[in-house]
Structure 1
Amino acid sequence: MARIALAAALTVALAACGSSPTRPMSQDTVIEPQRVTEHRGSDDLLTAGLGLAGLQAMTPPGFADAVHPTAAELRRRALWNNWRGIADLSATGGYGGVYGSVASVPGREYSALAKVPGAKQPHRVLVQVPDGFDLQRRCVVVAASSGSRGVYGAIAVAGAWGLPKGCAVAYTDKGAGTDYFDLDAQAGTREDGTAGAPGEPLAFIPDVPAGATGVSVKHAHSQDNPEADWGRHVKQAAEFALSALERAFPQAAPFRFDNTRVIAVGISNGGGAVLRAAELDGDWLDAVVAGEPNVHAEGPGARSLYDYTTEAALLMPCALLALPADSLPQPPVRAQAEPLWQARCASLKAAGLVEGADVAAQARSAHARLREHGWTDQALTAGALSVGFDLWRAIAVTYASAYGRYGVGEHPCGYAFAALNPDFSARAAAPAERAAWWADGSGIPPGAGVGIVDTRLAAPDFTLPGLQCLRALNDGDDEAAQRVQRGIAELRARPPRAGLPVIVVHGSDDGLVPPAFSSAPYVAQAKAAGREVAYWQVRNAQHFDGFLALPAYAARYAPLLPHVYAALDHVSAQLDGQATRAADQVIEARGRGAGKLEAGQLALPR
């Protein structure tokens, strides 16, 4: 099926507002809101009325009709999922007390589908404008979602800090998100999150070959390599914020970059996105805070996400056996996983990838290879979580397709996505499953009822053939490998604009985006160029605050979000003239043990 034009979905009109010579808008047009909604009383901007107790509930907000949820129900559930995926909301985690806010913030939301020049598919942009927006201190916090999450994927990062302070908060899903397309039912997602069919404005309509079945995932199948445009996505979201503020407060117009403060923040992929925005030309951005950023820099130690992810997917299950069992915070299924890890060691030996006559020796060999390539034992220890949840494979499958700009049915290693039967065979999705994808998905399968279809599954180590194919795309020289490698080459980050305050915050124990491969070389590159970049290294912090609800992780690891908020506080004070430029710091945070989190355990910078 040929792609149905999205022109009707993209309302890009009106001449740009006048701007100063020093901080001009980057486009000749302004993205106008396609949808404006009000959120007051029992339905606020920050938690959709759930409050802390509702966000802590173990079951998501329900739908009155499971097959036809309303836009309001989907929004509430999306907020619940995104809060829980990013923040530690456990009863002993301290959120909303020791740090962070879930204040009820009334206001309006302005949303649209926007395209960066040259893109095939749109990205979602959304601006939350609180009723208490401070017209005397105009402030926009612009954020990109972490991971591949939908447009609310930075609510706990940017919204929790900016909305209670009277700032508008702008979000982008940076060309990924949860706008899955059901190939069997020919159903996608409207701008409001509800299900729609081709022929009406949808957030994602893939090119679909005849007879295609399963699920098309935007991050994998947009054919845009969205990561290459992350910085432009962020800037376009900031521009959309000014347009929304013009609509919200016409009496206070114009809103321009020269009269409105703009601070960019994100974590993980969102952190990488705001660093890519920081390098764009123009004096449109006032400060940047990047937490645990997935950024591909130049210089010693720098590695692409795809490189170290495919390496970890192959070697880490075996290498973990070389670490003392009591040194690992349990991956959730450690007892069941160890036989699989032992089988991986045997498979790697047979493939000539490790040495050793027994499992112990093979594990030591795998461990030594990872250490030689820059992995620390702290990163390997925290990486056990990604092994336990098969996250390395999930990342590699989706990103290989994105980097190669492959469409539906074109994955060079034969992977696809679909609802799965218990035996892992593909099936058509049920209407109730499809209806919840937008709210429940993380943007990258498996999850929300969508799984990975692996056409290379084979005993005895079932996922190994597919993983070897994925790794070959990084190391090989055939046409498919060159295509993926060209996509990866488009991701190289440059130093931020001169004079722009930037704070990079990263946990020393991050096992998903190790700082040795990302933040450390980025900061070194930026400083070598004379840029104003501070590096805050947080001891005993790993990648996923959301997993601190697991007792073994809470005991060992400190949350990272409080330090991201502290960095935002610092750059805001610096812009107000109340603080000097940030300095590099090693922050001696620690886990909370068996008790409740206390402020002193965070060791927040002062």
Structure 2
Amino acid sequence: MSIRPAFLLCAALPLFVACVSVADAAAPGPIAAAPVFEQWRETRHRGNDELLTAGLGIEALRSTTAPPFANPAHPTADEARRRAIWSSWRGIADLTPGGGFGEVYGNLQAVPGREFSAYARVPGARHPHRVLVQVPDTFDVARRCLVVAASSGSRGIYGAISVAGSWGLAHGCAVAYTDKGAGSDYYDLDAGSGFQADGTPATQGALAFVPANAGATHGVAFKHAHSGDNPEADWGRHLLQARQFGLQALDRAYPRSAPFTTATTRTLGVGVSNGGGAVLRAAEFDGAGFDALVAGEPNVSVAGAPPLYDFVTQSAVLMPCALLALEDLPQPPLQAAAAQVGAVRCALLKSAGQVQGDDTAAQARSARQQLGEAGLSDGALRAGAFSTGFDLWRAIAVTYASAYGRYGAGEHPCGYSFSAAGANGSPGPASAEVRASWWSEGSGIPPGSGVMLVDGNAAHAADDPLRGLNCLRALGTGDSADAHRVRAGIADAAAGPPRRDVPIVVIHGVDDGLVPISMTSDRYVPLARTAGAKIAYWRVSNAQHFDSLLAFPDYRKRYVPLLPYLFAAMDQVWAHLQDPTRALPQDALIQPTPRAEAPLRRDQLSIPAVSAR
């Protein structure tokens, strides 16, 4: 569920048809017939415009200044791609000097090659998702390999490049991506403008997303919230279609060596956060075609347990108050500002009967106790201070409620909408320059990139200041028609057990404050084991959700990056696939040491070694 903090850092095609029926997608089982991919594009990327960093290199990726558009209102496809890659790297990885990326773990070396991209659609979906394959010039048809990944959070098509691209391209593998039905294909309802297959803005043609009621409302629509498709329910199918697209792209790249199949091409699935959830959902299918799967901090809800939406909405209501019961919170957000907001929230909750206590301290303890009873540790609560301080809980709850209930733009049952931000911070029309940047810089969940969350409950703030938040909460707990509609969508997105035939590694930070380990991986792994899966579980102490937050000194004193463990797990399962006498990863509770201000050393990470067979 990770999204890039703003401060840091489709009408579906009428010509698009799939070769499978809706009935084929009713439940995990045999893989459906191969989909049809539309709007194929092939581009070449060499010299100062290569695959991994678009020629930017580490220094430009570290820069807070985005790669420029020569004409800010009308970027070229190359310019939009370069900025999207810059944004995707900065949103996920810790690139700070001394942080270790490209030195202790990961790869940033230039990789020349080709890209293939298209639109795909899962059975029954109203809108397509993007798929893209990077084929390095070092690809060896005699040693065929494919890495498949879904974007983290709701990011665009390059949202997994710092994980799958960095590892896969360095190993000479092709890398296939999907935005899993979300992404940065925002649509300006007032200007009638969306994005083409190449990432450039347009008002007509084969746009990636145009909402169904585009002419009936105002503001900004985006695919995760407003497609009407509940994309999370199909994350596994999105990943499988990316794998299928990867094989077809290799057929086109090397026609004399075709066909490329799962029988002849070693295939690894990998993802982080929502991308990790997609990996685990793909594991449910018979014949999924993966040789191994690695899921980092996966957003995965298990049927029969409270869903993550329940925790998100509870946190949106309670956490500003609950944080006052803890000392030594990481910064940002600034503690003084957070304390002031928290005290106001405690008083409101007390007035509404939602916490107990006669003073702020007692009310904060009451809120903290409720979150603890829900399964949140103090470490996760501390890390959750970031999401609280920057209002991420509400943004996530609004978006996911809309998706689960399959509501269109302007239909949110709690009165929320999205708009471009005017010069004075109020809703207003988007300038052409701001609109042109959305595809490259949007996280897939506003606010950010010039798009704001509009609270339609503001008129009732004097009488009921918690109205909007409590409405979001009630969609998961209440008995209204809208609540039943949202909960049906949540149930559709619950994970089932994986098949037995594929090795899986799950990696999760013990202090994850956005996708808490106790509510996700700790529940999924026993489910998988009961089903007989071959699964290893790495629990990493002193690790939270956002590696990019290690840019802040207070965070790198407390936490280690999680990405090194994904790279290590991929190395270990890959070594096993090449030589079955080498053991697969085993369970581990990892106790690393944060680097503080010193350069990161590999020994500080305490990466588990593979035991001898």
1:31–1:178 distance in 2 versus 1, CA, 3 Å = same
Work out whether 1:128 is the aligned partner of 2:134: yes
Contact residue 354 and residue 366 of structure 1 kept, 8 A: yes
Work out whether 1:564 is the aligned partner of 2:570: no
1:361–1:600 distance in 2 versus 1, CA, 3 Å = same
What SS is found at the alignment partner of 1:275?
A: helix
What SS is found at the alignment partner of 1:262?
A: strand
The code of the aligned residue for 2:489 comes to: G
Work out whether 1:589 is the aligned partner of 2:588: no
1:4–1:175 distance in 2 versus 1, CA, 3 Å = closer
Contact residue 17 and residue 36 of structure 2 kept, 8 A: no
Work out whether 1:280 is the aligned partner of 2:285: yes
1:427–1:491 distance in 2 versus 1, CA, 3 Å = same
Moved more, 290-299 or 539-548: 290-299
What is aligned with 2:394?
393
What is aligned with 2:46?
40
What is aligned with 1:17?
none
What is aligned with 1:207?
212
What is aligned with 2:26?
none
Gaps of 5+ in 2: 1-9, 20-28
Q: What is the rounded CA distance, in whole Å, between the counterparts of 1:374 and 1:549 in structure 2? A: 29
1:488–1:237 distance in 2 versus 1, CA, 3 Å = same
Contact residue 271 and residue 278 of structure 2 kept, 8 A: yes
Q: What is the rounded CA distance, in whole Å, between the counterparts of 1:239 and 1:502 in structure 2? A: 20
What SS is found at the alignment partner of 1:231?
A: helix
Contact residue 344 and residue 461 of structure 1 kept, 8 A: no
CA deviation after TM superposition for structure 1 residue 212, in Å: 1.2
Q: What is the rounded CA distance, in whole Å, between the counterparts of 1:489 and 1:567 in structure 2? A: 31
The code of the aligned residue for 2:341 comes to: L
Q: What is the rounded CA distance, in whole Å, between the counterparts of 2:306 and 2:419 in structure 1? A: 31
CA deviation after TM superposition for structure 1 residue 5, in Å: 5.4
What is aligned with 2:196?
190
1:385-424 deviation per Cα after TM superposition (whole angstroms, max 9, x unaligned)? 1011111001000000000000011100011000123665
Q: What is the rounded CA distance, in whole Å, between the counterparts of 1:283 and 1:209 in structure 2? A: 37
RMSD between superposed Cα atoms in Å: 1.8
What is aligned with 1:535?
537
CA deviation after TM superposition for structure 1 residue 336, in Å: 1.8
CA deviation after TM superposition for structure 1 residue 33, in Å: 6.1
Work out whether 1:319 is the aligned partner of 2:325: no
What SS is found at the alignment partner of 1:579?
A: coil
Q: What is the rounded CA distance, in whole Å, between the counterparts of 2:183 and 2:192 in structure 1? A: 18
CA deviation after TM superposition for structure 1 residue 217, in Å: 1.1
1:530–1:24 distance in 2 versus 1, CA, 3 Å = closer
1:547-604 deviation per Cα after TM superposition (whole angstroms, max 9, x unaligned)? 1001000110000000011111111112122521321111111211222211111111
1:357-377 deviation per Cα after TM superposition (whole angstroms, max 9, x unaligned)? 110110011011111111100
The code of the aligned residue for 2:396 comes to: I
Contact residue 35 and residue 121 of structure 2 kept, 8 A: no
1:140–1:379 distance in 2 versus 1, CA, 3 Å = same
Work out whether 1:270 is the aligned partner of 2:272: no
Q: What is the rounded CA distance, in whole Å, between the counterparts of 1:395 and 1:189 in structure 2? A: 23
Q: What is the rounded CA distance, in whole Å, between the counterparts of 2:133 and 2:352 in structure 1? A: 51
What is aligned with 2:105?
99
What is aligned with 2:3?
none
Q: Of 74, 88, 93, which aligns to 1:87? A: 93
CA deviation after TM superposition for structure 1 residue 25, in Å: 6.9
Q: Of 239, 248, 267, which aligns to 1:243? A: 248
1:171-218 deviation per Cα after TM superposition (whole angstroms, max 9, x unaligned)? 0000000000000100110000001113x1000011126441110111
Structure-2-length-normalised TM-score:
0.94
What SS is found at the alignment partner of 1:7?
A: coil
Q: What is the rounded CA distance, in whole Å, between the counterparts of 2:320 and 2:164 in structure 1? A: 35
What is aligned with 2:13?
6
Moved more, 208-217 or 354-363: 208-217
What is aligned with 2:123?
117
The code of the aligned residue for 2:135 comes to: V
Contact residue 230 and residue 405 of structure 2 kept, 8 A: yes
Contact residue 225 and residue 408 of structure 2 kept, 8 A: yes
Q: Of 55, 59, 63, which aligns to 1:53? A: 59
The code of the aligned residue for 1:134 comes to: D
Q: Of 251, 259, 264, which aligns to 1:259? A: 264
What is aligned with 1:20?
none
Q: What is the rounded CA distance, in whole Å, between the counterparts of 2:600 and 2:219 in structure 1? A: 44
Q: What is the rounded CA distance, in whole Å, between the counterparts of 1:81 and 1:348 in structure 2? A: 38
What SS is found at the alignment partner of 1:37?
A: strand
